[in-house]
Amino acid sequence: MTEKTKDSAVYLDIDKRIFETVIKPLITKELIEEHRMNPIGKHSENLGLVLRYFRRHHEQLEGKDVIICTKPEEEWHLGEYPDERGKRPTIFLDESFGSVEAAEHGLFLKRLKKYGVEV
């Protein structure tokens, strides 16, 4: 195992523990509802912590979930950045949103599911 691989494994282990012990206990039905009611803007301390955890690694784009506007001011979809620079993101057309706020909440719910949180 190379030093870089070892460092990465340690980081991922710590990251998983942070999620399980700090972030996951903050995720309640009330917190999810708070996000639904106000997905953009100022949030409570707990929601802010959860969102910052989900949004970390902002410089790493590969596989990152994103919101894509497909019709200006009218329609948004979730998508995913490709694994190669210069390629277009994949757009998931199976679910569309009528506002950027609804798309933000859809992305939040997707991230929760990705981390094994039942919603």
pLDDT, tens only, 14-54 = 888 999 999 999 999 999 999 999 999 999 999 999 999 98
Confidence of residue 60 (pLDDT cuts 50, 70, 90): low
Q: In what order do the strands lie in the sheet with 65-71?
A: 65-71, 75-80, 90-97
Confidence of residue 83 (pLDDT cuts 50, 70, 90): confident
What are the backbone angles phi and psi of residue 105, rounded to the nearest 5°? -70, -40
Minimum mean pLDDT range among 3-12, 18-27, 51-60: 3-12
- The pTM (predicted TM-score) of the whole model is 0.85
